[in-house]
Amino acid sequence: MTTEVRVLQPDDWDRWFSNLELAFGTREAAEEREFDRSVTECERSIGVWDGGEVVGTAGAFSFRLSVPGGALVPAAGVTMVSVAPTHRRRGLLTSMMRRQLDDVRALGEPLAVLTASEPAIYGRFGYGAATQRMSAEIQSARVRLQLPPGAEEIGLRLADPAAVLPRCEELYARQVPKRPGMLARLPGWERKGVLDPAEERGGGTALQCVLAERAGELVGYARYHVQPEWVGTVPEGAVRLRDLEAEDPAAYAALWQYLFDLDLTSKVVLRNRPADDAWQLLVSDIRRCSVRVEDGLYVRPVDVGAALEARTYATDVDVVLEVTDDFCPWNTGRWRLSGGPKGAVCARTDDPAELTLSVRELGAAYLGGVSLGALAAAGRVREERRGALAQAATAFASPVAPWLPHGF
């Protein structure tokens, strides 16, 4: 087998993408395929060729990711990774990861991020699971919501999702710096929120959009499908939530109340919400909500110093980190991180190590959702100076759970 890694040429996109579909065993709806084509950054996507055939794919998006403190940090969004079934377990993925991380470094992006088809794949390349996605099936016919003051002042209005997209996007953009793990929209990406191929609806309605307004001003929105179901003559439909964003607790709660109250439905189904989503604190019976939490966004510091300087810290911190990075050895060594709520500097040092960890653990802890203390309890972070772990764990923590609202 002689294979060659090449940059994707736009004319090869269909063949390139077909390898991805083959590897995943899926066929995308035409509308989604067109979206994927339109957002592919060919100049930073690679294919592995075996003669005239594409046998491997990997792409990257030029994202900006929100981090603790609200900065938007350049991050390569690794995507569309596949190896043909005939060419697996011969190192093709490894060669693509090598090429890609070298390219990310050359571009000066401090981070690479991805969502994994399987959690076991990317740790070896230095990616750590940094956010969680919460799913739930809420028995809305049995569970009540306790609304905060002001919810009754919110007006709700149904609107065409595409027609109100620009207003919703303005609201979304205001939320991005408030929660680590969110992506600033690149041009064209706003369409992802309203993609609605009929063949993906599974018998449900077209996408619906409800706006929450206060005195005519947009303060929240939710996008959802209704999935009708009848058990005999009893209506047991489901509300399938796609997106919900709100500016304040009153607008947030009013939207949830609306979703709970939709006629002929008895459950609200969520697939990807933040782990600390506040509805959990409004419900009368959390046991009837079947909450489940899984891994979300994986973060890989590509330039440890720049990445650690790009975020702020909850409390003052001064710690020497001994980082190991087998796949990107330029990060290996000791780094002194000195910072706090206003900013940080992180530079190489010869001082003795105070915490020892691999770049994967650093990636997991980076957005403040995975505690350095928990990683230490798992034996994945080692404390070399007494007190260093507690200080760093407190400083790294985020007051809101980091969260990636949509896949890519």
Ligand X SMILES: CC(=O)SCCNC(=O)CCNC(=O)[C@H](O)C(C)(C)COP(=O)(O)OP(=O)(O)OC[C@H]1O[C@@H](n2cnc3c(N)ncnc32)[C@H](O)[C@@H]1OP(=O)(O)O
User: Is 93 part of any known ligand binding site?
Assistant: yes
Min dist CB 358 to ligand X, Å, is 16
CB-nearer residue toward ligand X: 124 or 385: 124
Min dist CB 400 to ligand X, Å, is 25
User: Is 82 part of any known ligand binding site?
Assistant: yes
404 vs 63: CA distance, rounded Å: 12
User: Is 81 part of any known ligand binding site?
Assistant: yes
Contact 173, 221 (CB under 8 A): no
CB-nearer residue toward ligand X: 94 or 146: 94
Min dist CB 131 to ligand X, Å, is 15
User: Is 92 part of any known ligand binding site?
Assistant: yes
**Pick the catalytic residue: 17, 61, 122, 313?**
122
The residue behind tokens 């947030």 is 252
Min dist CB 65 to ligand X, Å, is 15
255 vs 259: CA distance, rounded Å: 6
CB-nearer residue toward ligand X: 88 or 214: 88
Annotated catalytic, 122? yes
**Pick the catalytic residue: 172, 221, 298, 408?**
408
CA angle 147, 248, 136 (to 5 degrees): 60
User: Is 217 part of any known ligand binding site?
Assistant: no
Ramachandran angles phi, psi of 383, nearest 5° = -90, 125
Give the residues lining the site for ligand X (CB under 6 A). 23-24, 78-83, 88-94, 114, 116-118, 120-121, 124
Let me know if 31 is exposed, middle or buried by CB neighbors in 10 A (0-12, 13-18, 19+): middle
Residues 6+ apart with CB under 8 A from 374: none
Element containing residue 54 per DSSP (H, E): strand 53-66
Let me know if 163 is exposed, middle or buried by CB neighbors in 10 A (0-12, 13-18, 19+): exposed
Contact 14, 27 (CB under 8 A): no
Min dist CB 112 to ligand X, Å, is 10
CB-nearer residue toward ligand X: 45 or 79: 79
User: Is 299 part of any known ligand binding site?
Assistant: no
4 vs 396: CA distance, rounded Å: 41
CB-nearer residue toward ligand X: 65 or 321: 65
Contact 255, 244 (CB under 8 A): yes
Binding-site residues, please?
Answer: 81-83, 89-94, 117-118
Residue set of the binding site for acetyl-CoA: 81-83, 89-94, 117-118
Which residue numbers are catalytic?
122, 408
